[in-house]
Amino acid sequence: MSNKPVRIMYVDTCTEMAGGQYSLLTLLKRLDRSRYVPLLYSPGGSSLEARCVDLGVECHTLPFRSVHVVSHPKARLFAWPEDVIRSAFGVFFLAWSLARKDIDVVHANTFKAALVGSLACILTRKPLVFHDRITIRHGLLERMVARLARKIIVVSSALAAKHGEALRAKVTLVYDGVDTDYMSPGQVFTELHGGGPGTVCYLGRISWEKGVDRLIEAAGLVTARLPGARFLVGGSPYTPDDASYHRRLLGLVDSLDLARSVHFAGHIDDARAFITKAQVVVLPSRRESLGLVLLEAMALEKAVVAFAVDGPSEIITDRKDGLLVEPDNVEHLAEAIVTMLTDGDFARRAGKMGRETVISRFSARTFVDRISRVYDDIVSSPSPADGSIG
């Protein structure tokens, strides 16, 4: 590898912060600026851009973004053609930027970024890193992106399996990392309101995939046994479909007479302060590629409960550093929450073991070091596959 710093174009197409964006932010905070020069390309006014400006990262505006179609059904017919046009322009915009900014590596942080970025890399023969974070399959388009990418970073073994045996040489498993100095129980000084003993928290996007309805149903069973239990739901809907789901959740709370026990806190800027309010943190996802909020909660020595789907099953060792529950089983979910709320010795022991798990397997340092090695491998081993199907 030459002494010249590696110039990396990070392409992210989301306008709001989610797990993938927070993970990228962790990377950019810790990236060795003497060896790598990051440039962020994201939609105008994105939350990620605002945070990266504060980090001194050079930021540029994309002419396209991830598609979250408008709420009115008739207007959806016009959203897709507009997106195709914007994305086509985006291919040439990124290709022009790759040449003008002398980029060495393109790091696509979302599938939409990888789709458009892969076509730009064909035109410029630049290597693409596809950071795959979601279990959803995109069929032929995803297979095309995977073939065009030089490297595919996956956040769990389940995602590695999604790409199959033929692409194994391209796939690198890199778990998302947590800053365990920042996410430390001894570092939280925020005055907390509405939390404390008996408080169960969820933090994440309000969407069907996240299974918040199952948590609310479980809340009804828990409060029947522990009337003082309180449930805080942090996060907001992102898409129109999410907003519709959110309204159904509010109706579910009313129908179960849980208005005094379940509180929707809305968008949360400070995950550390919010999680610290909890005695138990629950992730009831129907599908979850990893589960960054679990890692953050475990780093803060919180008792954690999750459905035993892909990512959480890789993070939690059941009955050691948390509790795993049969997916979609509301009764078992409620039982696990009650256990964590009533068995203080076990909950504290699991919390301390959870922090040890994060430090040993999911630290920010390990995360950044492994991704840095991916970049180094690419620039030190030029391949004819750059910009072409491998």
Distances (CA, A) of 32 to 20, 38, 42, 170, 369: 20, 10, 21, 24, 10
Class of the 185-361 domain?
Answer: alpha beta
pLDDT band at residue 60 under the 50/70/90 scheme = very high
pLDDT, one tens digit per residue, over 303-360 is: 999 999 999 999 999 999 999 999 999 999 999 999 999 999 999 999 999 999 999 9
**Residue with more model confidence, 62 or 65:** 62
Does residue 164 register a pLDDT over 90?
no
Give the C-alpha separation, 145 to 121, whole Å: 11
Give mean pLDDT, residues 158-182: 93
Does residue 387 register a pLDDT over 50?
no
Question: Strands 105-108, 128-132: parallel, antiparallel or unpaired by DSSP?
Answer: parallel
DSSP 266-298: E--S-HHHHHHT-SEEEE--SS-SS-HHHHHHH
CATH 3.40.50.2000, the chain: domain bounds: 6-177+364-380, 185-361
pLDDT band at residue 174 under the 50/70/90 scheme = very high
Q: Average pLDDT of the chain?
A: 91
pLDDT, one tens digit per residue, over 261-308 is: 999 999 998 999 999 999 999 999 999 999 999 999 999 999 999 999
Write out the E strands in the chain. 6-11, 36-43, 58-62, 105-108, 128-132, 151-154, 171-173, 199-203, 230-234, 262-266, 280-283, 303-307, 323-325
Which numeric CATH code is attached to 6-177+364-380? 3.40.50.2000
Q: In what order do the strands lie in the sheet with 199-203?
A: 262-266, 230-234, 199-203, 280-283, 303-307, 323-325
Write out the E strands in 109-198. 128-132, 151-154, 171-173
Does residue 91 register a pLDDT over 90?
yes
Least confident segment among 61-70, 204-213, 279-288: 61-70
pLDDT, one tens digit per residue, over 129-163 is: 999 998 888 789 889 999 999 999 999 998 998 88
| Residue 326, Cβ density class (10 Å: 0-12 exposed, 13-18 middle, ≥19 buried) | exposed
pLDDT, one tens digit per residue, over 217-268 is: 999 999 999 999 999 999 999 888 899 999 999 999 999 999 999 999 999 9
